[in-house]
């Protein structure tokens, strides 16, 4: 990666491309080399390759800042990322959605998580589609997910050892924020950055990660409403 960055900064795009391709092949789960390949493609004027690599980065379970970077590049290139469109009503639809997001789950595991989303949301009186959108952005329904800040679990931060308890805790926290703040956007900002930050700013805090997070969850939520 270091050689690729040096080559990119000195204008040696051919060497940068080769170095980042090698890094992308060595570390498939990492979004970082895919982002750099997209940047090199932009510098080369290859819009199609740039779009392909930024989309590839989004598919590699990026951190929130990495995902925000990829989405912003796609926006600048005039490319809309595909919005998920699902009509979620009952347990089977939720299970299908969960397994589509995380294909490593068995059918039974997906059914359990789908049912848990519905149960947790009903217990706290929130829209299960909003809870599903939060989990989609937080962890892609990977119970072992770890955020850049070290938070763990489906909802990243609430009892990571037990996926079902994690969902209940995430729903409870989301309900508290929805009860305190006037809009879903502010509640999501509090979920990400903490309620103190939202109170202090009286708005979505001017943190790049939080602004992207709010936009991303609401973007997915809109798609889950069919």
At 154, list the tokens. Answer: 């489906």
CA dist list (Å): 162 to 141, 159, 167, 169, 221: 13, 6, 9, 10, 25
Which long-range contacts (C-beta less than 8 Å, at least 24 apart) are formed by 195-204?
none
Tell me the C-alpha distance between 177 and 121, whole Å: 14
CB 71 within 8 A of CB 212: yes
Active-site position among 66, 92, 138, 180: 138
Known active-site residue 56? no
How many CB atoms neighbour CB 125 within 10 A? Answer: 10
Q: Is 109 exposed, middle or buried (0-12, 13-18, 19+ CB in 10 A)?
A: middle
Tell me the C-alpha distance between 167 and 150, whole Å: 18
- Which residues are tagged catalytic? 138
């Amino acid at each position: 990666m270091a050689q690729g960055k040096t080559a990119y900064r000195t204008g040696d795009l051919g060497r940068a491309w080769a170095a980042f391709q090698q890094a992308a092949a060595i570390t498939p789960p990492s979004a970082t080399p895919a982002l750099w390949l997209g940047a090199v493609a932009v510098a080369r004027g290859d819009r199609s390759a740039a779009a392909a690599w930024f989309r590839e980065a989004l598919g590699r379970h990026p951190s929130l800042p990495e995902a925000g970077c990829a989405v912003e590049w796609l926006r600048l290139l005039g490319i809309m990322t595909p919005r998920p469109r699902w009509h979620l009503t009952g347990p089977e639809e939720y299970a299908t959605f969960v397994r589509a997001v995380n294909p490593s789950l068995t059918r039974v595991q997906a059914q359990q998580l789908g049912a848990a989303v519905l149960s947790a949301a009903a217990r706290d009186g929130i829209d299960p589609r909003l809870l599903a959108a939060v989990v989609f952005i937080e962890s892609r329904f990977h119970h072992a997910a770890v955020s850049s800040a070290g938070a763990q679990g489906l909802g990243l931060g609430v009892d990571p050892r037990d996926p079902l308890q994690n969902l209940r805790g995430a729903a409870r926290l989301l309900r508290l924020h929805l009860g305190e703040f006037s809009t879903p956007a502010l509640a999501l900002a509090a979920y990400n950055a903490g309620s103190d930050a939202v109170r202090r700013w009286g708005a979505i805090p001017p943190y790049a990660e939080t602004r992207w997070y709010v936009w991303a969850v609401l973007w997915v939520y809109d798609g889950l409403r069919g």
